[in-house]
Amino acid sequence: MTSKACVLLLLMTASLDSLAAPQFEDYPAQIYQGRLRRVSLSDHEDRKFAAALRSSIGHHPNFAGRFVLSSWGCGASCVMSAAIDAKTGQVIWLPFTVSNWPAEVKEPLEFRRDSRLLIVRGSRNEADSQADIAYFIFDGQQFTRALEPDAK
């Protein structure tokens, strides 16, 4: 194989790697070991869902190192979620509801305690009748959609 062919093969392989879906390991989070704080109900939305939020904070962090990602129903095949900071009690809302996830999907939100990546399977804000997969990175204050192989 010529050196030009080797370089071309390497470039093609690198391009394919960059098209891979985000992985939990790509977005590590440091695990919080401190005391769990009470939920801070700072606005109308927080107070409206106070019972659901309060019932979640007794749990140890399950998302992005120090957050408790909590979900509850908002209708038939619909969930809404919030990330509660175990260290401060601050509530950060997922900026959408999730619905219409495929029947084989048990949970439309996939996440890990040691990662800032959130994988969403389903329609967001009931905007689409067709479910898809979207990847979001959480920075402790907001969820930002990650670049994906087939992102539009």
Taking only the tens place, the pLDDT of each residue in 43-90 is 999 999 999 999 887 789 999 999 999 999 988 889 999 999 999 999
pLDDT band (50, 70, 90) for residue 151: very low
Instruction: Determine, yes or no, domain membership for 107.
Output: yes
Query: What is the domain range of residue 88?
Result: 22-145
Phi, psi for 65 (deg, rounded to 5): 85, -55
Cα Rg, the chain, nearest whole Å = 19
CB-CB contact of 148 with 21 (8 Å): yes
Residue 84 inside a domain? The answer is: yes
| Three-class secondary structure of residue 78 per DSSP | strand
Q: Examine residue 1 and state whether it is found in any structural domain, yes or no.
A: no
The tally of domains found in the chain comes to 1
- What pTM was estimated for this model as a whole? 0.82
Residue 146 has pLDDT above 80, yes or no: yes
Domain-located, residue 128: yes
Helices (H), the chain: 3-18, 44-48, 50-56
In eight-state DSSP terms, residue 115 is: B
Number of neighbouring beta carbons within 10 Å of residue 42: 11
Residue type, position 1, single letter: M
Whether 105 maps to a domain, the answer reads yes
